[in-house]
A and B are shown apart, each in its own frame.
Chain A
């Protein structure tokens, strides 16, 4: 047919663009064309044929990415033309140019209405095509009657398109055609198969939005599918000798929806599914066509979605194997996808195909690799997590786009948190994730990692903990050699070096401080890292002082500190001042305030603040207004908040800042922190109930401990892990339970024959053991039968089975016992020969377990609960008599309550809290009336102000939410009083050096 219909001008344009040597040249040509078109198109009396050509050229220009909006109106005009070709071109252009909300649409609706009534079916179908794109919710009623009339059109070509248009209306606005749902059912019975198949598209959407309403159509779908499969349709509907494949696929999809979770409905489909499967099987000697494979794949999807019979499942599995074994990448891809579906019903099925899966994993095809990783992600267990995460990490190395990286990083983190076999491994994995994905990883992950390091393995195995920490320190020191590290990793590094850098004794304080200064110097723009670095230096100095050694700051460190003393960021300034203060203190005090290894300790916070009771009483007696509970206060908050904000204009110049805080809290950068206190208010309103709730859960868990039976135990171990590194949901899950320990021990001794004595020894040697373990793993790929090893490690516990099946590889992995499938979920049993995970399990459970009864015995959790709930009100009733002061104190109270929120994001380090409150309570110099606020502040102000200092909040939340925590420090009242006393005694305050700080705080 050649190039009929397009003029020479157009051909020249296309040719010129095709020959353009550069992007710029092309641009010039197109712009010239646009200018030309603009001029020509506006000339009066352009002949229609010419006009049609201009419009086509406009479409072409816009396809190349240039704005052709000046010509839209001409395209619209062209749809009014009587000539069908012009009309069609007009419709084509308008559907490409305009979206359904464009202003010009209104000019078209009338034309469309008229055209839908035309007696030329070509005009009608052109209009119907346009309707699909151009009609929006408001204009649907204008054309709906005509479209419905067309459902009875004599030409099936038109009926088909009318159905499609109705379907489109449904997508745009389901309510507009809700009265027509029965129409779709009727269309299903249309005498023409192509119209029926058009109705299937619509019915698929309808069924997926409301399955129940269409259950009664199951029989119809089944019978249609049967007829199609049996070749009852005219030959014209065959495609490559397969009868109406697209109809079959659509119906199979609908059946999958209808049969999901419904045995009765599913049973009605069995015979037709068998029929379809049978008919799609290729004859002897001929390869299956692509389209019959498409139907087979769809059958697998349907079979795995419905409640299928074993026979069907068997066939699905068989086809899946065939796909996986295929050389064609497309079928492999479908096979991996199908495998993912099949193993959700029959997990054992994966074993037979491990080698195929590994092939796909190592394929150079990115799509296939991703799909396979998806599959592995779904089937990760504690037995194969290391191998899978290894693969994910090496895949992540090859990625460059942020989107995929973020996704895979979050998956790795999730798997690592859920299934980590050891702390060591977890830390290493996280380091790699930070290194590769950097700032794409949420800050929470870093905080969880720090918390893990701080708390160690969770029980009193100091040796293991310190090994863990020193290995972390070593790895981080090494890491610092690398040229470019993401900020979040640097934060972790600084924190770890500060906390544990000198603890092992292998590195001198000067070494570490020097490194920290280097870090800060290398990242002059990153205030967060600088903040972490200076605090780390402070800690190291403090440890040195406390150990009685003289601290002589390195010159570069001194200049760094001086720099920060004059910093624009109050946060950095504050930290620098703290360092300065520490340098001037004696060892006794420093030791009290910041003791070595204090980060893992829990601080008991008495939320009742009973030592203030006296003050509250006297204030009340003097006529102060009683504390209004936060909930009630919120109701009148509008007036209040405006007041608060004016009273705080100094810190918070822009009122708008308050509203940003409605988002979930993130790590506060110091620059934001100065405005943080007021902005925390909304957070707190949102999250406040959390702490009582989690406490309650905890209590419930405590009480239910005894009732927990076997099956749940499998889960419990994970909970233990989650509690440490897990997501925020973790507190709602029951803590590890004593019985689990027992069971595991029993199972272990029954399983591997390794007795209880092993536990004792492995306990001590946990970290080396881990080393050996991971090394073994790593060494694996180098063994010749590399793939089989990989398979064995991926599909753990399969080896025995594999042997029995005689499928592949008679060599089971050396370090893997033939563990029964039922036990696989209990990592400890599955991995009996590898001491590390076991150990880990003990660690996880141990500390919390044994301490729980003790804690319970010594104290009534319900009282604590009551105390917590009442706490704020009693405490806050201490607020000041004068009205203005009251409002500010209210704000403080809300801050106070919001601290648990902050704690989620902050690093757990007790000593920070100590020394910060030290700075703060110095406000004792301020008149007594301010005392309560000051007291509150030292708990609350700082979490907002410095990332590390979140401790205050953290401790509070952890002490309230985990009643069974092992280390609790003495009676709380005494403790707080003591702390108060210490701080007053020390009398160190940044106030002297920087009085403005407190002025700001108190307005």
Chain B
């Protein structure tokens, strides 16, 4: 399973952290620091996997990709496919890109609840649920329509849910 999904920038600032098994806040910080120190010490052309049994326990790996100023890191155990996860990161980033039009670090910082929503559509409870960025977009846009409406009237919101429902 996926143990955690992390986004941090190249200075080690967390931009999004999601742990699928609960860790205390202190432990989370420790883990982030450890992950960052590993990643920052690796050159760019090296392989995207790091064995992390000293951080997350035996048989765990970090699978990461480096985009501009950000690291996207998934922590997995041996029930996941490393190369597959690499493509999952690709899906995740592509989806972000579609949502934010040329996604950059700032978009993620400012909309980090939205990024959470997207991630929740892709990974749920540590398992990959959706790997098609079009599907993810569809689900996410349903939710965001509500924001566009701008009106937080419950009746209105309810309408949107039903609307989607009836269309399908």
Contacts and interface: CB of A to CB of B under 8 A. Distances in A.
A binds B: yes
A208 B77 CA distance: 14
Contact of A236 (B25, B46, B135): B135
Given A86-B152, A293-B83, A294-B81, A236 B134 contact: yes
Contacts of A122: 142-143, 160-161, 164
Interface in A102-156: 119-123, 125, 128-129, 132-133, 154-155
Nearest to A81: B154
Contacts of A167: 125, 127
A239 B131 contact: yes
Interface in B18-39: 18, 20, 22, 25-26, 28-29, 32
Given A83-B152, A120-B165, A294-B84, A329 B17 contact: no
B111 A92 contact: no
Interface stretch (A304-312, A363-371, A604-612): A363-371
A168 B124 CA distance: 9
A164 B157 contact: no
Interface string A285-314: 000001101100110000000000000000
Interface in A1-59: 1, 3-6, 10-11, 14, 18, 48-49, 56, 59
Interface residues of A, number: 88
Given A85-B157, A236-B134, A160 B82 contact: no
A84 interface: yes
B18 A368 contact: no
Contact of B81 (A120, A125, A249): A249
B28 A65 contact: yes
A88 B116 CA distance: 11
B93 interface: no
Interface string A664-704: 00000000000000000000000000000000000000000
A807 interface: no
Do most interface residues of chain A lie in helix, strand or loop, or is the interface mixed? helix
Contacts of A100: 22
Contacts, number: 201
A92 B47 contact: no
Given A92-B116, A291-B83, A161 B28 contact: no
A194 B87 contact: no
Contact of A168 (B91, B113, B125): B125
A157 B139 contact: yes
A727 B135 CA distance: 56
Given A63-B14, A121-B161, A329 B46 contact: yes
Interface in B111-165: 111-114, 116-117, 120, 124-132, 134-135, 139, 142-144, 146-147, 152, 154, 157-158, 160-162, 164-165
B43 interface: yes
Chain B: interface secondary structure? helix
Interface in B83-126: 83-84, 86-88, 90-91, 99-101, 107, 109-114, 116-117, 120, 124-126
B130 A194 contact: yes
Interface in A219-238: 236-237
Contact of B45 (A88, A154, A298, A329): A329
Nearest to B79: A204
B11 to A, nearest CB: 10
A4 B145 CA distance: 12
Contact of A120 (B49, B54, B79, B161): B161
A803 interface: no
B54 A83 contact: no
A658 to B, nearest CB: 33
B46 A291 contact: no
Contacts of A165: 125
B32 to A, nearest CB: 8
A161 B121 CA distance: 9
11 contacts: A4-B111, A65-B29, A83-B154, A84-B157, A92-B117, A121-B165, A122-B142, A164-B129, A239-B87, A333-B82, A371-B51
Given A14-B109, A14-B110, A122-B142, 12 more contacts: A1-B111, A3-B107, A5-B114, A65-B26, A83-B157, A84-B154, A100-B22, A160-B130, A201-B127, A201-B128, A330-B49, A365-B47
Interface of A: 1, 3-6, 10-11, 14, 18, 48-49, 56, 59-60, 62-67, 82-86, 88-89, 92, 96, 98-100, 119-123, 125, 128-129, 132-133, 154-155, 157, 160-161, 164-165, 167-168, 171, 194, 198, 201, 204-205, 208, 236-237, 239-240, 245-246, 249, 253, 290-291, 293-294, 297-298, 328-330, 332-334, 364-368, 370-371, 401, 403-404
